[in-house]
Structure 1
Amino acid sequence: MTLSKIHGHWEYSYQRIYDFKEEIVRRNPSSHVEVKLQVINGEHHFQRIFLAFGPCIQGFLNGCRPYIALDGCHLQEKYRGVLISATSIDGNKSIFPVVFGAVESENSNSWEWFLHGLKAAIGESEGLVFSSDRQKGLDEAVQVVYPRVEHRECMRHLYANFKKKFRGDCYRDNLWAAAGAYTPNVYETSITKVYEANPMAIEYLRQNHSYLWSRSKFGTMAKCDYLTNNISESFNAWISNDRHRPLIDMLDTLRQKIMVKMEDRRNRARKWDHEIGLGQYEVLWSDKFSAEVIGAQSRFEVRLYDMQCSCRLWQVKVAKYKEAYASSIAPLPSCDQWVKIDIGHRVLPPILNRPAGRPRNKRIRAPDEMAIRKRHRCKRCNKLGHRAKTCKNPVDANQQPAAGPSQAANQQPAAPLLSIRRPIGPPQVGNEHSKAPILAGNTHSEPPSQASISSGTSCFGIGLKLDAMCCGCSCFGIGLKLE
């Protein structure tokens, strides 16, 4: 009930999906939004949505490298589903969201539909590169929609599958060295060592990992040498706190985050007054069109007449970075101000195909994958990184153990502990001759009579009413204990 009031109702979110589409297209010209419904028993159920904001399309085409990372992450909302995205990098090597969408699951049909929307939005530019970790159905979809694109495979996922069959430092070191090699000679040297260790390892790579995974085989048009699909993982982590929202609320939240991020980077780029902002280097000119570029640990030849560099890397100009964020995403009012679109039928939520059991919110990590550890705070010295059991820091003997910041703010002074001794044996209710409880540590005052306690009168001026059958535990957390 509370979440519905904050984020909106789940079912109502699907009914306004076409209104949301109309507002996006009307306020952001050149945007591309598609909605796909599924007809079941004469009723129209939501199935997929594709969003490409106009400023993101223009920013990618004008100021980003022709490099796109494809990935998907599970939604945590009521009707589940998968959020798939295409992410690029700008001139400062920061993630740049291009398009994204919500589908029922990762399969060849949903990926093909998503890539058709991507192609309608950005086309098929020369030298376009796709990088992926080979999600379910993605390979077949890329071959159908983008048959001529350069398709690279994430090296981290490749090695995770490779080491299930071939383990050892020799395989790990030389395979990663072959992946990071820029020249064919270094690649052949490293891959030969893998072959000498086990020829079946090379045969396994040829049969199961035919996509590009070594820098020595990458094309030079994209000017991007990433071996992993980490920019997609960064995008997924960036939106991780929003995947539990209803559909429209989640999509609108992503729109807001992209809008704010583009404005922040646009303001930052205005302060740059230099031409090249990546790395430190020294140039030794040979003539007007050739030079030596000296970096921290290497030296390369640059030929300007044919735009070649022996390092096979690229320096991006600030002007290109500014073009990526030249346009801005328009703000959007609340849904009660949207134009209502009548499509002739009602859009229902997708068919719920949730498995039995409690839904999983976190992915299953690999056995050798490093777990995310939380830093512990010592209750003795209030320092991070260790526990009180192993604490060796000096602590003042008269000082109480330090509490955390939140605990110190809410800490109340402890009530005085009153200890009451009562006779051993069954209580004598109404017996005036029975011994009354004696207040420990107070020998000068008259102990209260048993009748006053059993009758329910307040005891010791603290407003607590005791009964003769009271147990020996602390009462209501005020520090009263019976012995």
Structure 2
Amino acid sequence: MRYLLNEKGIIDVYVEHVCDEPSILDLLEGGTILQEPIDEGTMDIGEGYVTQNSQPAPNFHEAPETTAEGDANETDALHGGEYNVGDEHELEEEEEEEEEEEEDVITTRSSDLWFNPSWTTVWFEVGMTFEHVAQFKEAIAKYQIQKGCKLKPVKSDPTRQRIHRIGQQCNWSIFASFDKNDKTFKVKTYCREHTCFRSLKSDMVGSRILAEHHRNRIFANPQIIISEIVRLSHLELGVHVSRDKSKLAKERIMKEVKETHTKEFAQLRGYVEELLRLFPQSNVQINSEPPTTPEGKPTFKGIYVCLEGCRKGFLLGCKPVIGVDACFLKGMFKGTLLAAVARDGNNQICLADDLSNHTRRDLTFLSDQHPGLINARQTVFPKARHRLCARHLYANWQKIFKGKLLKKRFWIVARSTYEGQFNKNMEEIKNLSVKVHDALKSIPPDLWCKAFFDTSCKCDVVDNNINETFNNWIMDARYMLIIQLLEYIRVKVMVRMAKNKEEISKWRGNIAPRIRKKLEAHKIEVAKYRCEWNGRTQYDVWHWNDKFVVDLIGKKCSCRAWDLTGIPCPHALSAIGLGNFNPDEFVSIWYKRVKYERAYNVPIMPCNGEKFRENYHGEPLESLPFRCKQGRPKVNRRKGDNETKKVKVGQLEKMTKEGGQITCLLCKQPGHNKRGCPKRPTESEEASASTHQPIPRKPLTCGYCKQPSHTRTTCTARYFVDENSGQSDGLGRKKKHRVGEFINSPELNLQGLQRETTMRHTHPSQFHKAQPPQKSTKKKGSSEA
């Protein structure tokens, strides 16, 4: 007998002897040795016996093997020696202590099993702990939605909750009660067996559970319709909920949305202080109305934000052109967002400078025909230049003068670059319509035509599409709360400025990529021109019968395209090519790398969240009064007749009648229909016209039976051929008789009617062909014998 003692003090005893039946020696508590037969799963003992686990026993005669990895992969060191039964009691005490430790660990785990409300899958266990009875009820409600079973509280009070399955024979049940020691709510008994089918109806799924499930969805889209909530509840929760319950759930969330709006207005001053702490040179101002009562609070009226990075970027690297446009907010409290957008060296969006401190430079404003913007510009910037958006101008103009040809001519006139071209295009419009020509002449051309624009700003745009692009860029933010709206715009501008600064390293050359594309497009047209040099810095450029003068030193061309944009026109490139100069040197500095780097050199810093602006200084603000209008709120803007309508995916595309003119059917004049026609007869005329008696119509008469009230196509008379009548027409055909004729004829009797009935059901092939009448062979004057 040999024994092995490992480092843990546990003795393994092995016996090797020859016997009919192999056995295993176990050490018992009394210190005696028991010989026990080996199990059936134990295989024959050879080099080492193998159990059902297929783990060979160690070889006692050989030293333990070691791996190349060292002590980390070695087995426990085994020490050989003789077995001492006196050490048995010490080993038994150590085993009992280990068993007690294991029991303590299991008990601790069961008592520390807490329910987590953020679990996506709800499950229960005996000993699971809840903070209070309301949390347990919420878990039961989520569980029945998850399993699709109807649960009913059999015992329900603040200290005990017993829930059973109802509607079907199912053994599922759970009981939980209040624990006085821990002051918690614990599960005491639980039968987890389910023998019922899933149900789509659940009485415990109320508006509170629906509101909790759709909370984020309704917060993100307060305009979600009730039918969409019902549909999503069925798809995601697997239960059918009513419209009333879904409507009540949405009302719960909308009440929280309103409270959140009020909370954000109260924290607005703290947000402003945080911005000024991060950007000391920024300009952020809040406009509020004083309280109407001594106990009241000031009411929010407006806020102005100009960040330091945008202000310095505009001053250092953007052209002095600012587009101003407003868009409507679509949240609960509505409102208007007015944004000032500039253009960088790549003709892209860049939020503009702090306009209130920018009076030393000549500015050019782009806006629509809104009188408020025009009056404000004249008051604050009386020396600044102003341009009207040609797209908005045409939208108002085409309401009176419609037609695609006039639209084409209007944009040709607006894009004329010099005065001669403008006058020529206006004469073409005058040939089409004198009224249209006079209407365009009434608008000052320096507001909407390139030929009269100032050339110092190096911008030739005639529309304000860049502001429309910005409004569409922040479309998602227009539904948000006020602080979320400001943060959304700040983050998007911060990311855009960082991205544009990174794109500078990808430039090829010293000019912005968009400007280089335009320059390359102008180079293609150079082959159409012929250029001659005057010996100094000026050139004559011919294009058929037109001739233009180019001055390379002054960077001017008589077509004014180079003067307006700062990009060499095809005429200038023809002269540059004749002099073997580099075209990049004649591009304006606004489009070069230096200006672009300065525009995005000052970054926008990140801002802390809500928890860091709780301790702000200042009186909190009240939100704007909430006004709920009747009917469904309109979200999308009503488009004009000249704008294209969006077509849904998969919808049949076809021409519509929108924008066309209608023609009256009475007077044949355009612009109205017969309902609104001035020549339409009045009610008295219609009444007098109705007194005339209509001309009586001739009554219907059948062509066969000569009877009234029906025609020959609907006549019920039937025709037949009488084989025995002997009558025939001139062509040898049997004479046809109507039924009425046979009834009224004394020559026919009842047998003739029977023959008629028989012939109606006889196939036409069975009829006898009518034989022509035979000529008599009897001589004239002869008599019969």
Conserved 8 A contact 2:267-2:620: no
Residue identity in the other structure for 1:123: T
Residues 169-196 of structure 1 deviation map (CA, whole Å, 9 limit, x = unaligned): 4432322111001111111111122234
Q: For residues 633 and 266 of structure 2, what CA distance do their matches in structure 1 show?
A: 25
* Secondary structure, counterpart of 1:77 in structure 2: coil
Instruction: Identify the match of residue 453 of structure 2 among 202, 218, 222.
Output: 218
Q: Which structure has the higher relative contact order (CA within 8 Å, separation 6+)?
A: 1
Residue identity in the other structure for 2:356: A
Q: Give the deviation of 1:212 after TM superposition.
A: 0.7
Greater mean alpha carbon deviation, residues 240-249 or residues 197-206: 197-206
Instruction: Identify the match of residue 359 of structure 2 among 115, 123, 141.
Output: 123
Q: Give the deviation of 1:303 after TM superposition.
A: 3.5
Partner of 1:357: 631
Conserved 8 A contact 2:539-2:550: yes
- Whether 1:314 aligns to 2:566 is yes
Greater mean alpha carbon deviation, residues 78-87 or residues 357-366: 357-366
- For structure 2, the 5+ residue unaligned runs are 1-210, 221-256, 568-590, 654-785
Conserved 8 A contact 1:170-1:194: no
Q: For residues 340 and 300 of structure 1, what CA distance do their matches in structure 2 show?
A: 68
Residues 371-391 of structure 1 deviation map (CA, whole Å, 9 limit, x = unaligned): 1223329xxxxxxx99xxxxx
- Whether 1:252 aligns to 2:487 is yes
- Whether 1:32 aligns to 2:283 is yes
Counterparts in 2 of 1:423-434, with a 5 A limit?
Answer: none
Q: For residues 272 and 63 of structure 1, what CA distance do their matches in structure 2 show?
A: 17
Instruction: Output the TM-score relative to the length of structure 2.
Output: 0.42
Residues 66, 39 of structure 1: alpha-carbon distance in 2 compared, 3 angstrom cutoff: same
Q: Give the deviation of 1:340 after TM superposition.
A: 3.1
Partner of 1:137: 372
- For structure 1, the 5+ residue unaligned runs are 100-117, 378-384, 387-483
Residue identity over aligned pairs, in percent, reads 27
Instruction: Identify the match of residue 325 of structure 1 among 591, 600, 605.
Output: 600
Conserved 8 A contact 2:324-2:341: yes
Conserved 8 A contact 1:57-1:122: no
Residue identity in the other structure for 1:360: K
Instruction: Identify the match of residue 241 of structure 1 among 444, 459, 476.
Output: 476
Count of aligned positions = 357
Q: Give the deviation of 1:322 after TM superposition.
A: 1.4
Counterparts in 2 of 1:81-120, with a 5 A limit?
Answer: 81-98=335-352, 118-120=354-356
Residue identity in the other structure for 2:386: H
CA RMSD of aligned residues (A): 3.1
Partner of 2:771: none
Partner of 1:334: 609
Counterparts in 2 of 1:299-448, with a 5 A limit?
Answer: 303-310=551-558, 311=561, 312=563, 313-315=565-567, 316-338=591-613, 340-343=615-618, 345-376=619-650
Instruction: Output the TM-score relative to the length of structure 1.
Output: 0.67
Residues 307, 342 of structure 1: alpha-carbon distance in 2 compared, 3 angstrom cutoff: same
Greater mean alpha carbon deviation, residues 188-197 or residues 88-97: 188-197
- Whether 1:65 aligns to 2:339 is no
Instruction: Identify the match of residue 171 of structure 1 among 372, 396, 406.
Output: 406
* Secondary structure, counterpart of 1:347 in structure 2: coil
Conserved 8 A contact 1:153-1:211: no
Q: Give the deviation of 1:243 after TM superposition.
A: 0.9
Q: For residues 272 and 541 of structure 2, what CA distance do their matches in structure 1 show?
A: 50
Q: For residues 341 and 285 of structure 1, what CA distance do their matches in structure 2 show?
A: 72
Q: Give the deviation of 1:288 after TM superposition.
A: 8.7
Residues 80-121 of structure 1 deviation map (CA, whole Å, 9 limit, x = unaligned): 10111011111111111226xxxxxxxxxxxxxxxxxx4324
Q: For residues 210 and 355 of structure 1, what CA distance do their matches in structure 2 show?
A: 42
Residues 301, 330 of structure 1: alpha-carbon distance in 2 compared, 3 angstrom cutoff: farther
Residue identity in the other structure for 1:252: E
* Secondary structure, counterpart of 1:130 in structure 2: strand
Conserved 8 A contact 1:45-1:351: no
Residues 223, 352 of structure 1: alpha-carbon distance in 2 compared, 3 angstrom cutoff: same
Residues 423-474 of structure 1 deviation map (CA, whole Å, 9 limit, x = unaligned): xxxxxxxxxxxxxxxxxxxxxxxxxxxxxxxxxxxxxxxxxxxxxxxxxxxx
- Whether 1:183 aligns to 2:423 is no
Q: For residues 368 and 186 of structure 1, what CA distance do their matches in structure 2 show?
A: 26
Conserved 8 A contact 1:32-1:121: no
Q: Give the deviation of 1:62 after TM superposition.
A: 1.1
Q: For residues 610 and 548 of structure 2, what CA distance do their matches in structure 1 show?
A: 56
Residue identity in the other structure for 2:553: Y
Q: For residues 73 and 189 of structure 1, what CA distance do their matches in structure 2 show?
A: 38
* Secondary structure, counterpart of 1:243 in structure 2: helix
Q: For residues 222 and 293 of structure 1, what CA distance do their matches in structure 2 show?
A: 26
Q: For residues 305 and 177 of structure 1, what CA distance do their matches in structure 2 show?
A: 30
* Secondary structure, counterpart of 1:364 in structure 2: coil
Residue identity in the other structure for 1:334: G
Conserved 8 A contact 1:183-1:216: yes
Q: For residues 339 and 289 of structure 1, what CA distance do their matches in structure 2 show?
A: 67
Partner of 1:274: 509
Q: Give the deviation of 1:319 after TM superposition.
A: 1.5
Residues 212-257 of structure 1 deviation map (CA, whole Å, 9 limit, x = unaligned): 1000011101111112110001000100011111100110111000
Q: For residues 178 and 327 of structure 1, what CA distance do their matches in structure 2 show?
A: 41
- Whether 1:12 aligns to 2:249 is no
